[in-house]
Structure 1
Amino acid sequence: MKRIMELLFALAVLAGLLFAGDKVRTYVSVQQENVRRNLVVLDPGHGGKDPGKVGADEELEKDINLAISLKVREKLEEDGMEVVMTREEDVMLSDGDADNKKLEDLNSRIDIINEQQPAIAVSIHQNSYSDPAVRGAQVFYFTHSDKGKQAAEALQKELLEFDQENTRDIKANDTYYLLKKTEVPTVIVECGFLSCPGEAELLTDEAYQEELAGAIAKGIESWVVK
């Protein structure tokens, strides 16, 4: 009887080890799957009562940001990537009663990015400067993020190939709230200068937006698949 009890105990221990091992393998598999997933968060800057920059002919940054972001999403999804948008309409991501609507809007975007844990988050914006001759797309990244820098380089490379008159390089930044507070590689793509009349006109052109979106999507994909 004692020998039978010892045998049953040994079998129970073995079964427990096998079950635990299966749980460990499942956990590791889920972890690896989460790390590898081709998920991108696109963040069209501004929206609603926050127009962002206003162009030479009254072009609104918020509208251009959304139009380009939707085109980038379409191209990424065509290539089998999963995309989450922080906004798909002309809205601010803040409560109407919030004391600081801009800060709440930014925090809402950051929450979406951190909850989704994507391979990369790309915030789409338009630039402006006092000199109307200044033009060209430029990618910003958080100063202390090596992966953010690598992602910015991949995107800037495609943007320079798209617009060969553009001589801009990536730029590190340690003050932009969105870059500081996100937990994943995050970049801000300034697609061009609305203060430059010629570039502002291009940025509102449907065909130009399509080509620009293609360059952004290609840059994202080239970094994600590394």
Structure 2
Amino acid sequence: MTGRDAAGKGETGEGSDGNGGRGSRGKGEDGEGNAQFCVVIDAGHGGADPGKVGINGSLEKDINLEIAEKLKKFLEAEDVEVIMTRTDGNGLYDENASNKKVQDMKRRIAIIEEAQPEIVVSIHQNSYHEEYVHGAQVFYYTGSATGKKLAELIQECFVAGVDPENKREVKANDSYYLLKKTSRPIVIVECGFLSNREEEEKLNSEIYQEKAAWAVHMGIMRYLNQ
């Protein structure tokens, strides 16, 4: 599990829509150095929880982390402070935990709440029982205006930079644990469908992962700089 001392904790104001609003990180006393924004990147699943399993056997947890690491690189190049909920293949739970999934999710929430970032982006992959279904889609918490705006910007960048044929629209959700339990603006980015043979192959390629990460990064930066 990763975390940090929550520099600037409490600096961001709370929004009126149930998720925290945007703020900015101040400069240090010497006028240098502190990142203006902080973003938590959550690579979904990990450890004994593989997430979705692709039509050719790809594990969602691995692809999530690969895209998350690329996204981190792009954001840090913009002087954004990035905190990862996980940086390896392990889950965020103790081996002797009675309910590993619950402990894992609670620890992700704890990292987010300690960091108090401007936004949280959780990277995932989708699956469906029909192979033809494909395309990235971004989810936000029902009723969160900030989450919806972030989701729309990321979705737009995915369509423009990755798949112009993608007709999917952002979708509100009030049942996903992370969306419900996080006080900060948060979205879940489903980068594609592992149940689609062609899309699974793309999601395993470095080039496509870079394109997906770049699209998410562009949406994030548009949100932070608006």
Q: 1:99 to 1:158 in 2, by over 3 A?
A: same
Identity fraction in percent? 52
> 1:110-137 CA deviation, whole Å, 9 max, x = no partner?
1111110101000000000001000000
* Residue 167 (structure 2) aligns with: 167
User: Comparing both structures, which one devotes a greater share of its residues to helix?
Assistant: 1
SS in 1 for 2:129: coil
* Residue 210 (structure 2) aligns with: 210
* Residue 99 (structure 2) aligns with: 100
> 1:26-51 CA deviation, whole Å, 9 max, x = no partner?
xxxx9479931310000000011110
SS in 2 for 1:130: coil
Structure 2: runs of 5+ lacking an equivalent: 1-9, 14-21, 26-36
Structure 1: runs of 5+ lacking an equivalent: 1-29
Shift of 1:97: 1.1
Shift of 1:225: 1.3
**Structure 2: distance between partners of 1:64 and 1:126:** 8
> 1:125-175 CA deviation, whole Å, 9 max, x = no partner?
000000100000000000021111111111111011121011100000001
**Structure 2: distance between partners of 1:211 and 1:139:** 16
Aligned pairs for 1:70-81 within 5 A = 70-81=69-80
Q: Which amino acid aligns with 1:49?
A: A
SS in 1 for 2:53: coil
* 1:147 and 2:146 matched: yes
The TM-score normalised by the length of structure 1 is 0.85
* 1:35 and 2:23 matched: yes
* Residue 196 (structure 1) aligns with: 196
Aligned length, in residue pairs: 197
Segments ≥4 residues shifted beyond 4 Å: none
Q: CA RMSD in A?
A: 1.4
**Structure 2: distance between partners of 1:86 and 1:43:** 5
The TM-score normalised by the length of structure 2 is 0.85
**Structure 2: distance between partners of 1:195 and 1:95:** 31
